[in-house]
Amino acid sequence: MSLTLAPSTTQPATPSATRARIAAMLALPLPELMFQAQSVHRQHFDPTEVQISTLLSIKTGGCPEDCGYCPQSAGFDAGVPASKLMELEPVLEAARRARDAGAQRFCMGAAWRSPKDHDLDRVAAMVAGVKALGMETCVTLGMLRPDQAERLKTAGLDYYNHNLDTSPEFYGRIITTRVYQDRLDTLAAVRDAGINVCCGGIIGMGEDLNDRAGLLAALADLDPYPESVPINALVAVKGTALGETAPIDPIEFVRTIAAARIAMPKSYVRLSAGREQLSDEAQALCFLAGANSIFYGDTLLTTSNPAVARDNALFAKLGMNRQA
């Protein structure tokens, strides 16, 4: 499989039909956008159910990439020391705790540009161990070769996360150590191996509405579009290139969730990084807009996440349930 979406530093003269459609969605009056998103959501999902995932950093910091938002980049002094890859048993113990707390999927992230083969063998053992606990498995390890994707599939991997981050046009302002096509090539290797794709992006990095439309169009135009779409709100970490960026307006974030739901009707749309800075009311609007998955647990890789007790209280207040 070959996925292509040519990177560019300028706005395309003729936006794709998908991009133009999504840009029009994002500009709708909010009541109309929410109505359309909720209507689409109800065609494919129970609007009262939320899928629960838990994320663990199995190798933190020291990454050679220069992603402007990431405190794990070795090029930033963001107070995140580099660590070695975790041993198997502590990973499995974390997975057991997540399962017992109600998570269906256990996601493992390593701060690599791409995994070395000897490290991949150790990650494959983690995947097999988590799978044996009865959980879905997901990893994010950077760029993959086709043979590495096949190795993970053999170990029992269900999902591979590799985000596009932003639009093709805005991408070069955030990352210079790899190009957009590198990300598409990894996604193609994952698809060819028969692994489900988890792919989304980050909102609030200084992009405009057209860039948000470009990100969602790039995701929706993948064939097939991702089964899981994490939408992150930038967490501005001091010491990173984007450390002084102002938080995104919550209503703009809700609009992005709604447009993602309409553009990718069968995907799980996940509230990911930045959820702690959203009020209960903003999260409720996100669920009404079609979000139906969250990361559960106090930490996401290196940034904080709402406490489990807060999430449980919110679900009870909204009359929502964790997906069985």
The one catalytic residue among 19, 105, 122, 138: 138
User: For residue 59, which of 89, 90, 82 has the smallest C-alpha distance?
Assistant: 82
Q: Pairing mode, if any, of strands 303-304 and 299-300?
A: antiparallel
In degrees and rounded to multiples of 5, residue 180 shows phi and psi of -55, -40
> The tokens 């057209």 sit on which residue?
210
Catalytic residue (one of 19, 70, 191, 261): 70
Q: Which residue of the set 19, 107, 199, 286 is catalytic?
A: 107
My answer on whether omega of the bond before 224 falls inside 30° of 0, hence cis, is yes
Alpha helices in 2-138 (DSSP H): 17-26, 30-44, 88-100, 117-132
The catalytically annotated residue of 19, 67, 199, 212 is 67
Q: Using alpha carbons, list the distances in angstroms from residue 58 to 123, 162, 230, 291.
A: 9, 16, 19, 27
CA–CA distance, 104 with 136 (Å, rounded to integer): 6
Dihedral sign, CA of 288, 38, 204, 163? positive
- Distances from the Cα of 236 to the Cα of 164, 166, 204, 215, angstroms: 19, 16, 9, 20
Distance CA 243, CA 240 (A): 5
Give the C-alpha separation, 47 to 19, whole Å. Answer: 26
Q: Indicate which residue of 105, 261, 270, 275 is catalytic.
A: 270
The residue from 19, 63, 122, 199 that is catalytic is: 63
Active site residue 198: yes
Strands 159-161, 196-198: pairing is: parallel
Annotated active-site residue 199? The verdict is: no
Give the residue numbers annotated as catalytic, written as ranges. 63, 67, 70, 107, 138, 198, 270
